[in-house]
Chains A and B, each alone.
Chain A
Amino acid sequence: MDMLLQVGYLITAILFIMGVMRLRSPATAKSGNLIAASGMVVAFVVTLVQYHSFSWLWIGLALILGAIVGSYAALKVRMTAMPQMVALFNGMGGGAAALVSIGELHSQWSVGVSSAAASIAALLTVLIGSISFTGSLLAFAKLQEWVRGRPITFGGQKLLNGLLLAVALVLGIMMIVSGGPHALPWLGVYIVLAALLGLLLVLPIGGADMPVVISLLNAFTGLAAAATGFLMSNNVLIIAGALVGASGTILTQQMSRAMNRPIHNIVFGAFGQVAAGAG
């Protein structure tokens, strides 16, 4: 790979870590966010220089539109609505990761070349990214009160989740063993299953617990980005994704501890609460 790209990505990784370090104290937090953002700019610029052979019209349009919509939404929203905005943008990241892997897998399968390692990384990204996408969107809708904020549960929900996950995993293994153009419909089924899982994960969670779940989904998106890094042999994706995945997991733990509840109680607790409420 190109020298400029690698050096740029190294600088980005350093700036990301320094940024998060400064975010650990209220006095330096704002500069930490700025440092992390400048790391993003470095990665963005060297990537544009390295991979300039795309359609500038379409990619330029997507970039400009994304920047306008993103900054407008983020500036316009009320301060009290910040958690759902984090959820929304997190979902966008998860969706982007899933799309990148779907696109990469589709173009690899179309010409018939794909290693098992690449397929594993891609299918993991699609699974985690899609869960994060639909889960975050539902978290947003619940906090925005577009959907009833109270936990929504029904009988056999845990069983259904387990079953869906098992089917998705079997399907994933099938596609790893025999990827290719013929497997594309199965990839479609796999995406739908993952998207459903994201919804089912967030449905039983009440509004008050939502920040913890958003933090968990944030860690998911980080892992999805890291898996995409393995797929595309892109070190900065691996580093930043692993950083967010790990720090997001710890953060989720600390947030649930601050609420005096273990994390599994928040994610799966609604079932017990409903039973207790009915009894």
Chain B
Amino acid sequence: MPHSLLTEIYIFVLAVFVGFQLISKVPSVLHTPLMSATNAIHGIILVGAIALAATVKGPLDVGISVAAVFLATLNVVGGYVVTDRILGMFKKKSAERPTE
């Protein structure tokens, strides 16, 4: 097993533990925003799509990378804006409550 692969497995395992710990106890009202926010975070695949675009040569591969960049951008931008809107609604609700 190459040394770099082993390092990558280390990083993966540790990040999995962080992910488990982060969401261990959250109130259920935050489930949807958390889902939406982590949805935006896996839009990080955009970075992979750009790296692919820089290395490929043939027209088919370039087409694939352009499509990947497009889809990943949708994921990042849409995911972030949707989360922001969900959280905005959230804030309004809790601000209104004391006046009721």
Do A and B pair up? The answer is yes
Residues of A within 8 A of B (CB): 12-13, 16-17, 19-21, 23-26, 29-30, 32-33, 36-37, 40, 43-44, 47-48, 50-55, 58-59, 61-63, 65-67, 69-71, 73-75, 77, 79, 82-83, 85-86, 88-90, 92-93, 95-97, 99-100, 102-104, 106-107, 110, 117, 211, 214-215, 218, 221-222, 224-226, 228-230, 232-251, 254-255, 258
Specify the chain A residue showing the minimal Cβ separation from B35: A215
Specify the chain A residue showing the minimal Cβ separation from B27: A26
- Residues of chain A lying within 8 A (CB to CB) of residue B41: 16, 19-20, 36, 40, 222, 240, 243-244
Residues of B within 8 A of A (CB): 2, 4-5, 8, 11-13, 15-20, 22-24, 26-58, 60-62, 64-91, 94
In whole angstroms, how far apart are the Cα atoms of A24 and B30 in the complex? 7
- Residues of chain B lying within 8 A (CB to CB) of residue A103: 52, 56, 61, 64-65, 68
Q: Once the chains bind, are B89 and A79 in contact (CB under 8 Å)?
A: yes
- Residues of chain A lying within 8 A (CB to CB) of residue B94: 26
9 intermolecular pairs with C-beta atoms under 8 Å apart? A47-B47, A54-B50, A93-B43, A99-B71, A232-B52, A238-B15, A239-B15, A247-B23, A254-B23
Specify the chain A residue showing the minimal Cβ separation from B44: A240
In whole angstroms, how far apart are the Cα atoms of A95 and B64 in the complex? 11
- Residues of chain B lying within 8 A (CB to CB) of residue A243: 15-16, 18-19, 22, 38, 41
Shortest CB-to-CB span from A80 to chain B, Å, is 10
**Which one of A59, A71, A100 lies within 8 Å of B45 (CB-CB)?**
A100
Given contacts A26-B94, A238-B8, contact A255 B54 (CB under 8 A): no
In whole angstroms, how far apart are the Cα atoms of A65 and B88 in the complex? 25
Q: Once the chains bind, are A93 and B83 in contact (CB under 8 Å)?
A: no
- Residues of chain B lying within 8 A (CB to CB) of residue A89: 39-40, 43, 74-75, 78-79, 82
> Is the contact region of chain B dominated by helix, strand, or loop, or is it mixed?
helix
Shortest CB-to-CB span from A153 to chain B, Å, is 26
- Residues of chain B lying within 8 A (CB to CB) of residue A99: 49, 64-65, 67-68, 71
- Residues of chain A lying within 8 A (CB to CB) of residue B80: 33, 36-37, 40
Q: Once the chains bind, are B31 and A40 in contact (CB under 8 Å)?
A: no
Given contacts A218-B42, A245-B16, contact A237 B47 (CB under 8 A): yes
In whole angstroms, how far apart are the Cα atoms of A34 and B56 in the complex? 33
Q: Once the chains bind, are B48 and A237 in contact (CB under 8 Å)?
A: yes
Q: Once the chains bind, are B26 and A234 in contact (CB under 8 Å)?
A: no
- Residues of chain A lying within 8 A (CB to CB) of residue B58: 107, 110
Q: Once the chains bind, are A85 and B35 in contact (CB under 8 Å)?
A: no
Contacts A90-B75, A99-B67 supplied; 5 other A-B pairs, CB < 8 Å:
A33-B37, A51-B53, A66-B73, A237-B45, A242-B19
Q: Once the chains bind, are B85 and A74 in contact (CB under 8 Å)?
A: yes
Q: Once the chains bind, are A239 and B11 in contact (CB under 8 Å)?
A: yes
Q: Once the chains bind, are B34 and A251 in contact (CB under 8 Å)?
A: yes
Q: Once the chains bind, are A85 and B15 in contact (CB under 8 Å)?
A: no
Q: Once the chains bind, are B77 and A70 in contact (CB under 8 Å)?
A: yes
Shortest CB-to-CB span from B82 to chain A, Å, is 5
In whole angstroms, how far apart are the Cα atoms of A242 and B16 in the complex? 5
Q: Once the chains bind, are B22 and A75 in contact (CB under 8 Å)?
A: no
Q: Once the chains bind, are A92 and B71 in contact (CB under 8 Å)?
A: yes
Q: Once the chains bind, are A117 and B15 in contact (CB under 8 Å)?
A: no
Closest 8 CB pairs of A and B: A66-B73, A246-B19, A51-B54, A242-B15, A70-B77, A74-B81, A70-B78, A93-B75
Shortest CB-to-CB span from A267 to chain B, Å, is 16
**Which one of B4, B33, B45, B51 lies within 8 Å of A97 (CB-CB)?**
B45
Q: Once the chains bind, are B78 and A96 in contact (CB under 8 Å)?
A: no
